[in-house]
A and B are shown apart, each in its own frame.
Chain A
Amino acid sequence: MNPQNNTHSELAEKFNRDVERVNWHDKTLWFVREKRDKAAHQIAEWEQLREAASQIKNNVLSNLHDYLIEFEKNAVRHGVHIHWASTAQKHNEIVHSIIKKHGANHIVKSKSMLTEECGLNEYLHQQGVNVVDTDLGERIVQLANEPPSHIVLPCIHWKKEEIGELFHQHLGTPKGNADPQFLTAAARVHLREHFLTSRVALTGVNFAVAETGEIIVCTNEGNADLGVQLADVHIACMGIEKIIPKRKHLSVFLRLLARSATGQPITTYSSHFQKPREGQEMHIVLVDNGRSERLASDDFRNALKCIRCGACFNTCPVYRRSGGHSYHTAVAGPIGSILAPGFDMAKNADLPFASTLCGSCTNVCPVKIDIHDQLYKWRQVLVQNGHTTASKKTGMNVMSQMLSHPTVYRFSGAVGRWVMRTLPLMINNKFNPWYKQREMPKASTQSFRSWYLNQRKHEQ
């Protein structure tokens, strides 16, 4: 994507043209946030759980090398094949080589944000392998030829009438039927056929336990399990940061994950895969793709603690009113905005600015990532590296000159107030982004300084 023409603010502006849809999107996500609050408040020790999760993840990052070795040793002992991929490209090649070895040209895949990050679907498509996403939301966006707009709720931006029309075109459901129950049943029949005929199933990984060599995959639909149990080959793809030290630590993370994500007490299925089923081949692909480099950064390392619950999306006023696709990256929202510049600073320089820095993301994060602090720090890094637009740079330079010269500051304040009162169009015009979808209050006749001096005089 070309950042010159498709920055977050430009894409968000397009999303905001349909006021009714934006309000609906905003409200739907806030409803999920409220469910999260309700679930969290039922657990008296919620804050202690967040602290424990955060500390376990700190330990993981500080000892990642040894945990990875331990995990590999235990998984291999259970007959699992382990692969290491330093880049997204290598990951895609490894996955393809396994599929090719088994002569398959058709696979089922459950949700994996890592494979979105690596662009696996497009890569496999180019190699002649058909990937069927089996999570209902992911299947919907796949049929529409779109990426997911939310890591937990992939088609949260779609209305049921639009899904009805999409299914009418692709699955042959009756035109005009937009009943969620009916459409879900149609998708069940459509995808059941794929489950029964795919010899290779790919899944993501929520947690990988160093102590036992097992991986945990959480779904509500059961699509990961159905895919794996009916396939000859199970390929699981994970970022290296998904490791946790001990099996018992799962209690902390599984208590936090679904409650933070959707307000459920736990996902319907939390499957622990330790050994392949009889006759099955199991592969785990561990991917670095920039993670080890990020590990060195005191400022940005913590983003690797993320368990992909999506709570920061649902609470973010900017995400709720700009939609996931405005972030033009696999993982959107606040967490996506601190991850993406690490992958490509130039391409994602706009994202850390897509925030009001209100800090709500940090407050709901189950592993206590300092998301809004990192957004702020990324802004500084981006400016230092010259990744800011010319208008922002000019504005900042003028501002900095003015703020360092008190006389100039006072004079420009007076001029500014006069202009805003008498010639508002000079400021409220299409060249000033602050006035998009916004009205400004009336300008005062006096500055704060003169008001303050006046008050002091009266007091004495």
Chain B
Amino acid sequence: MASVKKNQPSMVEFPTLNFAGDTSIDLKAQFIKTLTGIGGSVIEVNEIKEVGDYIKSTFPKPARIVNTLTDLNFEHAYPAGRFEILNQKSDPHDFSNVTVAIMQGEFGVAENGAIWLTEVNMGDQALPYICEHLVLIINKHSIVPTLHEAYEKIGASAYNLGTFLAGPSKTADIEQSLVLGAHGSKSLLVFLINY
């Protein structure tokens, strides 16, 4: 540390950031286009109740669905024990057999299709990464143009873990061939709610 202090050059200030995204464009359309372009799927619904119907038709026979939203219960659609609302702590390893995890996203970013989540949304911090398919629900009015507005929104908030999640897990390490589902979720389904 003494060496850092001795060797660092004389102080130069950091710049003031004057970046702002274009709010005149259709943010929802750009968000959908970008997220679809990076392998995610987006479905627009009018109320949260509709989400259950879509999930039932998309995943007719899941081994295990874990839902972190208490106002969304469609337990009756599945055989007993296949659907649960996560409301107690458990060992993260116990989620290794989860087919579908459902959680609320804080907001979306139009320029890159990313959704901001913190441990509060995740139920368990391992859940969005360990599940086979991830379902995120966000409000369409929450979409901001760029990361500059995104960090303004995050502000000085405290969290254990915050993440921008953009699409399903992927890799192109084998000859630049894009493969979805490297280690994290194999698919990402986003519901945009038109409140």
Contacts and interface: CB of A to CB of B under 8 A. Distances in A.
Bound together: yes
User: Lowest 7 CB-CB distances: which A-B pairs, in order?
Assistant: A222-B184, A265-B112, A221-B182, A137-B173, A296-B7, A229-B126, A59-B14
Interface stretch (A12-20, A245-253, A332-340): A245-253
A163 B174 contact: yes
Nearest to B154: A247
B158 A265 contact: no
Interface string B160-178: 1111111111111111110
B60 interface: no
Output the residue of B14, B150, B166, B177 with the most chain A CB within 10 A. B14
Nearest to B127: A229
Interface string B6-17: 111111111101
B55 interface: no
B92 interface: yes
B175 A250 contact: no
A255 B147 contact: yes
B131 to A, nearest CB: 11
Contacts of B15: 51-52, 55-56
B134 to A, nearest CB: 10
Given A184-B182, A267-B166, A225 B96 contact: no
B9 A221 contact: no
B63 interface: no
* Majority secondary structure of chain A interface residues (helix, strand, loop or mixed): helix
Interface stretch (A153-161, A377-385, A426-434, A444-452): A153-161
A61 B183 contact: no
Contacts of B165: 268-269
Interface string A146-188: 0000000111101110010000000000000000110111011
A85 to B, nearest CB: 12
Nearest to B182: A221
Nearest to B35: A265
25 contacts: A45-B19, A55-B12, A60-B14, A134-B183, A135-B173, A153-B173, A158-B175, A192-B96, A220-B171, A221-B169, A222-B184, A230-B130, A250-B151, A251-B147, A251-B151, A265-B111, A265-B113, A269-B164, A271-B161, A275-B161, A276-B160, A292-B3, A293-B7, A296-B6, A296-B7
Nearest to A54: B15
Contacts of A222: 129, 169, 182-185
Contacts of A184: 171, 173-174, 179, 181-182
A32 B176 contact: yes
B37 to A, nearest CB: 8
A288 interface: yes
Nearest to B126: A229
A401 interface: no
B195 interface: no
A197 to B, nearest CB: 9
Contacts of B8: 61-65, 295
A240 B1 CA distance: 10
A248 B151 contact: yes
Interface of B: 1, 3-15, 17, 19, 34, 38, 89, 92-93, 96, 109, 111-114, 119, 125-126, 129-130, 146-148, 150-152, 154, 156, 158-177, 179, 181-185
Contacts of B148: 248, 251
B184 A140 contact: no
B3 A293 contact: yes
Contacts of A65: 1, 4-5, 8
A288 B150 CA distance: 32
Contacts of A230: 92-93, 126, 130
Contacts of B154: 247
A324 B194 CA distance: 50
A55 to B, nearest CB: 4
Contacts of A296: 6-7
Interface string A213-253: 00000001111011001100000000010000111111110
Given A65-B8, A184-B174, A221-B170, A226 B163 contact: no
A105 interface: no
A247 B174 contact: no
B4 A295 contact: yes
Interface string A109-153: 000000000000000000000000011110010000000000001
Contacts of B181: 184-185, 188
A264 B172 CA distance: 12
A59 B12 contact: yes
B7 to A, nearest CB: 4
A296 B34 CA distance: 43
Contacts of A262: 172
A341 B100 CA distance: 50
A48 B184 contact: no
A98 interface: no
Contacts of A255: 111-112, 146-147
Contacts of A32: 176
